[in-house]
Structure 1
Amino acid sequence: MKKFFYIYGKILIVSLSSLILFAILSSVKADSSLIIRTLFLIQKAMMLLPVLILYRLWDNGKWKLGIIQHNKKLYFTKGALLGFAFMTLSIVITIVLETHRITLHNWNVQMIVSLFYTLFLCLVVSFAEETLFRGYIQGLVKHHYTYTAGIIFSTLFFAAMHGMNNNFSVLAFIELILGGLFLGIVREKTQGLWFGIGFHCFWNFTQSGIFGFLQNKEESISVLSIIFKEKNVITGGEWGPEASIVTSLVLILLIAYLQIKKYGWFKKRSIAQ
C-alpha cells in the first residue's frame, strides 16, 4: 500500500504541476494573433517542464524515460508516415460512407505559414504528451509493477485527462483508449518515444492541417474543409473523425497486428531454442 501511494503520488504531482502551469498561462490575455499563438505553444510546451524536473530529481538512472533513443529520426519518420496514412485512410473511408461537402482552399502565404504553425504545434503537443503519458507515467508504473500495468494505467490516465476537452463523448473516450493502447504497446516495442511522437504528431496534423478538423477553429487554416451531413458514430459526432467507428476499427487492426507480430516473434524464438 505504501508503494501504491508513493507511485501514484508522484504521478499526481507531475500531472497537477503540468495542469497548474497550463492554467496560469491560459489566464494571460493578449490582443495580437501572433502573441496568442505564441502563448498557446508555450502553454503546451510548459506541460513538459514538471516531467523533466521531477524525473531528474526522483527517477533519473532507475529507468529510461525514452527520449534518448538510438535511430530516433528513423523511428519518428516511420511513426509519422503511419500516422498520416491511417488517419487519411480513416477519413477517406468516412467520406465514402457519409454524405459530405469538401472545400479546397486556395494556397497562399497565410495558408503556408498557418500549416507550419499547425505542424509545429502538433509536434510540441505530441512530444509533451508522449513524454508525460508513455514516458513518465508508463515508465514509472512499469518499473514498479509490470509493462502491462504501465500500458493500462497510462492509457486510462491519457483518456481521462482528455476528458476536459470540448465535445468529449463516449466515442471519444473509446478512441482515446484504443489510441493510448497502441501508443503504449509501440513504446514498449521500440523501447523509446520517437515512433509514438511521430505517429501522434502526424495523426493530429493530418486531421487538422490537411482535412480541416480543427480542435480550435482559430488556430489554423487547413488545406481542405470537410463538412459531414450527419454527426454520428461513423463521422465521430462533435469530436470529429478521430472518434469515428472507422478510426476505432483502424486502431484495433493496428493493435491486433502488433500483438500478432509479437506472438509470432515469441513463437519463432521458442522454436529456435
Structure 2
Amino acid sequence: MTDDRTGLEVGRRRFLHPGPLRWLRAVGWMMLLFIIFTLVYAGAQTVGNPLFKGGGHLLEVLEVAAICGAGLALYGGVVWLAEGRWPEELDPRRAPVDLAIGLLVGAAMLSAAVGGLYALGVYDISGPRPASAWGTIAMAIESGVMEELLMRAIVLRLLMRAFGVWPALVAQAALFGALHLANPNATPVAAAAIAVEAGLMLAGFYLLTGRLWVSIGVHAAWNFTQGWVWGASVSGIPVVESWLVSKPKPGAPELLSGGAFGPEASLPAMVVGTLAALVTLWWAWKKGNFEARPDVQAPPRP
C-alpha cells in the first residue's frame, strides 16, 4: 500500500484538496497567509526594532516572544480550519531538541564565516566589552520565528503544493534575497548572497525535518551570533550593543568582506551557507521529502 507518512506534508485536504485548479488555490492561500503574517511580523518589529538600536530589557523581549508565539498559534489555527490538519511543521514535541540543534548549528556556521574573514585578513575584531544582549535577542527571536514562518511554512510549502519542489525552492530563495534589498547598505550582490546561502540553506533544514524548529533555531542563532557575539552588521543593520566588535579593514575588497552589509555578503559566508544548503538538500532528497505526501492512503490489501 501507499505509505501515508512518506513525503513532505504540504497540505492535501479541504482548501487544498485534489481537484481542478489546486495550484491556483494554493497560490491564493499562500498570498492571503503571507499578508496576514506579514502584519503579525510588523507587530513584533514595533517592539523588537527599538530594542535592536539599544540595550533593551527582558520584559520587552518577552513581549516580542509573546507576539511570535501568538503568530505560531494563529498559523496552527488557520491551517487546522482551512487545511483540515494540525500542522506537523509546528510539532511541539520535537521543538526543544530541534531548536537546540538549530541554535548550535547557526552559531557555529556564522562563527566559521567570521573566522574565515579574520583568517583571510579582511576583518578586524576587537573586544570584549560590557554590552546588553536583550536587544539582539529580541531581533533574533522575531526574525527567526516570523521569517521562517513566512518564507518556509507559507511560501515554500504552498509553492511546492502548487508547482513542485524545484520551482518552490528557487522562488522562495529569490524572494528572500529580494526582500533584503530594503535593508540599509544592501546591494544586488548582498541580496544574491542571502538568497543562496540563507534562502536555500534554511529551506534545506525545513525540507529535511519537515518542521520549522531547526530552521528557526539556525536563523535566530545566526543573527544573534553575528550581531551580539561578533558585533558585525546584521543584514546591513549596524549593531549598537555587542560583546565583540567586528568590521572590514579599510580597503578590503567588498566581494570578499561583505562591506557595510556585513558578513552575510562575504565570500566565507557564501561558502559556509552554500555547503550547508547542499548537504541538507541532498539529505532531504534522499529521505524522500522532495515529494509531497500522497493525497490518499490506499486501503490495505486483504
Please indicate the TM-score interval, normalised by the length of the shorter structure.
0.7 to 0.9
Q: Which sections of structure 1, spanning at least 5 residues, go unmatched?
A: 267-273
Supply the distance in 2 between the matched residues of 1:106 and 1:260 (Cα, whole angstroms): 41
1:58-117 per-position Cα deviation (integer Å, ceiling 9, x unaligned) = 2341x836111543211211111111111111111111213443321433xxx2xx2133
Q: What's the CA shift for 1:232?
A: 0.5
Write out aligned runs for 1:87-102 (5 A): 87-102=110-125
Supply the distance in 2 between the matched residues of 1:80 and 1:207 (Cα, whole angstroms): 13
**1:236 equivalenced with 2:258 (yes/no):** yes
**1:115 equivalenced with 2:133 (yes/no):** yes
Q: What's the CA shift for 1:157?
A: 2.6
**Residue-pair matches, total:** 256
Q: What's the CA shift for 1:222?
A: 0.4
Q: Cα–Cα, structure 1 residues 156 and 57, in superposed 2: closer, same or farther, change >3 Å?
A: farther
**Residue of 191, 207, 211 corresponding to 1:188:** 207
Q: What's the CA shift for 1:20?
A: 4.8
CA contact (8 A) 1:22 1:47 kept: no
Write out aligned runs for 1:202-241 (5 A): 202-215=221-234, 216-217=237-238, 220-229=240-249, 230=252, 232-241=254-263
Aligned to 1:134: 152
Q: Cα–Cα, structure 1 residues 205 and 27, in superposed 2: closer, same or farther, change >3 Å?
A: closer
Q: Cα–Cα, structure 1 residues 44 and 129, in superposed 2: closer, same or farther, change >3 Å?
A: farther
Aligned to 1:270: none
Q: TM-score, normalised by structure 2?
A: 0.70
Aligned to 2:190: 172
Which structure dedicates a bigger proportion of its chain to helix?
Answer: 1
Supply the distance in 1 between the matched residues of 2:97 and 2:38 (Cα, whole angstroms): 32
Aligned to 1:271: none
Q: Which amino acid aligns with 2:220?
A: C
Q: Which sections of structure 2, spanning at least 5 residues, go unmatched?
A: 1-19, 289-302
**1:76 equivalenced with 2:96 (yes/no):** no
CA contact (8 A) 1:18 1:46 kept: no
Q: What's the CA shift for 1:208?
A: 0.3
Q: Which amino acid aligns with 1:233?
A: L
Q: TM-score, normalised by structure 1?
A: 0.77
Supply the distance in 1 between the matched residues of 2:121 and 2:286 (Cα, whole angstroms): 38
**1:55 equivalenced with 2:79 (yes/no):** yes
Q: Cα–Cα, structure 1 residues 148 and 44, in superposed 2: closer, same or farther, change >3 Å?
A: farther
Aligned to 1:250: 272
**Residue of 6, 11, 15 corresponding to 2:30:** 11
**1:106 equivalenced with 2:129 (yes/no):** yes
